């Protein structure tokens, strides 16, 4: 993610001129460090937006080839448009100030702390926003983030995690929300198998193949996950039988999830990263990357740094995810 810098007139001729390049460099280096450690970009597919809002949709599968008699006519197959989801871009802003007194008194430590806190707040906002969306998808169809409501529903107008995802064309309701179930080898296999049987809006098997486990930062849950998938032998059997779950999973421990989950809730989530990428299941769309402007406030003579970005996110296709250990979910 590049950062766009713009510099106001007169800065090079002022006491602040010499601070411009060091602060810009510091912001860019800090941004690179956050991008390397970002979790939200591992869960949400990043899309570049060119409009006020973007619409996402899907197409149902065809019914397939049919046997015909010798010289028979070709059967006519068809596909239909699935549910649609519109995600509207949102503007995000922040700023910080380098005072003239700070420059005159050589407060170099403060000059480092301010841009550091500024860029940290931007990337923390992105992480917290993604975590709030994912956690909000467990509890309902909307969540409130920093005073604004955002949709946590998929294109079918049902919460990301639900027992009643409807089919657009053919087939009954499906569930990707499973009941109270600790993370065990057995329960992991059951949720994985349920995901592998997910159907599209025309009741065709999709061959979903989950490859990622997402959990909040919880000591007991971390221990349970790595106990199940962390060894090639099964420690629960006297003969150390083969553990087929070993080496098959990526694990994401997302500490930002904790603050958006209801008290006592310890869900574990499976994700098919390839299906997510191919079908825009979870999207973080960027309309305008972070742009930073530096100028002199004519009233205070201080150096003001403003940051602005436009982005948003949401869910379109629930089939990339399944959540377990939620009271009231479908029994495993």
pLDDT tops 70 at residue 7: yes
Higher pLDDT pick, 156 / 28? 156
Q: Give domain status of residue 101, yes or no.
A: yes
pLDDT in tens, 265-311: 999 999 999 999 999 999 999 999 999 988 888 888 888 889 999 99
Q: Give domain status of residue 77, yes or no.
A: no
**Would you state the pLDDT for residue 318?**
97
pLDDT tops 80 at residue 112: no
User: Which residues make beta-bridge pairs with 207?
Assistant: none
CATH number of the domain within which 271 lies: 3.90.1690
- The mean per-residue pLDDT over the stretch 142-153 comes to 96
Which residue range forms the structural domain that includes residue 119?
Answer: 4-56+84-324
**Would you state the pLDDT for residue 58?**
73
Structural domains counted in the chain = 1
Whole-number mean pLDDT of the chain? 87
Q: Give domain status of residue 169, yes or no.
A: yes
Q: Give dist(CA 293, CA 93) in Å, integer.
A: 11
Q: Give domain status of residue 66, yes or no.
A: no
Q: Give domain status of residue 62, yes or no.
A: no
Is the whole-model pTM more than 0.75?
A: yes
Highest mean pLDDT among 81-85, 109-113, 272-276: 272-276
Q: Give dist(CA 82, CA 201) in Å, integer.
A: 7
Q: Give domain status of residue 245, yes or no.
A: yes
Q: Give dist(CA 149, CA 299) in Å, integer.
A: 36
**Would you state the pLDDT for residue 151?**
97
**Would you state the pLDDT for residue 133?**
97
Q: Give dist(CA 302, CA 299) in Å, integer.
A: 8
Q: Give dist(CA 31, CA 309) in Å, integer.
A: 14
Q: Give domain status of residue 89, yes or no.
A: yes
Q: Give domain status of residue 67, yes or no.
A: no
Q: What percent of the chain has pLDDT over 90?
A: 57
pLDDT tops 90 at residue 21: no
């Amino acid at each position: 993610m590049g950062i766009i810098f713009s510099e106001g007139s007169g800065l090079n001729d002022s006491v602040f001129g010499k601070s411009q390049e060091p602060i810009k460099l510091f912001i860019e280096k800090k941004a690179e460090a956050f991008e390397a450690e970002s979790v939200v970009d591992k869960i949400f597919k990043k899309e570049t937006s060119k409009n006020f809002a973007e619409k996402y949709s899907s197409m149902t599968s065809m019914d397939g080839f049919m046997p015909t008699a010798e010289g028979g006519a070709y059967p006519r197959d068809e596909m239909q448009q699935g549910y649609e989801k519109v995600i509207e871009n949102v503007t995000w802003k922040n700023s910080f100030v380098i005072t003239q007194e700070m420059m005159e008194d050589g407060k170099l430590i403060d000059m480092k702390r301010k841009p550091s806190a500024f860029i940290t707040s931007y990337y923390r906002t992105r992480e917290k926003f993604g975590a709030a969306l994912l956690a909000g998808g467990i509890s309902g169809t909307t969540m409130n983030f920093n005073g604004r409501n955002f949709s946590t529903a998929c294109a079918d107008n049902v919460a990301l995690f639900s027992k009643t995802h409807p089919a657009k064309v053919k087939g009954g309701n499906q569930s990707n929300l499973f009941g109270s179930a600790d993370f065990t080898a057995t329960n992991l296999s059951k949720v994985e198998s349920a995901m592998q049987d997910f159907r599209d809006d025309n009741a065709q098997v999709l061959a979903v193949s989950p490859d990622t486990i997402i959990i909040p930062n919880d000591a007991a849950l971390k221990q349970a996950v790595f106990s199940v998938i962390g060894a090639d032998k099964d420690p629960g059997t006297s003969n150390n039988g083969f553990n087929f779950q070993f080496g098959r999973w990526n694990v994401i421990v997302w500490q930002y999830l904790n603050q958006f989950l209801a008290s006592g809730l310890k869900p574990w989530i499976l994700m098919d990263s390839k299906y997510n990428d191919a079908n825009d299941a979870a999207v973080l769309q960027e309309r305008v990357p972070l742009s930073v402007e530096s100028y002199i406030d004519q009233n205070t003579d201080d150096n003001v740094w403003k940051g602005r970005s436009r982005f948003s996110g949401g869910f379109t296709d629930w089939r990339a995810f399944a959540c377990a250990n939620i009271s009231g979910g479908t029994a495993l």
